[in-house]
Amino acid sequence: MASRRNGTIYTGVTSNLPQRAWQHREGVADGFTKRYGCKVLVWFECHETMESAILREKQIKAGSRQDKLALIEMENPTWRDLFEEIAQG
Rounded to 10°, the helix 50-62/65-75 angle is 120
Reported as a single tens digit per residue, the pLDDT across 55-79 is 999 999 999 999 999 999 999 999 9
What's the pLDDT score for residue 89? 63
In sign, the C-alpha dihedral spanning 55, 58, 63, 65 is positive
Q: Taking the CA of residue 65 as centre, how many other CA atoms within 13 Å lie in the half-sphere pointing to its CB?
A: 5
Domain boundaries, the chain: 17-87
For 54, other C-beta atoms within 10 Å of its C-beta total 12
pTM: 0.92
**What is the Cα–Cα distance from 85 to 6, expressed in whole angstroms?**
21
| Cβ–Cβ < 8 Å for 35, 73 | no
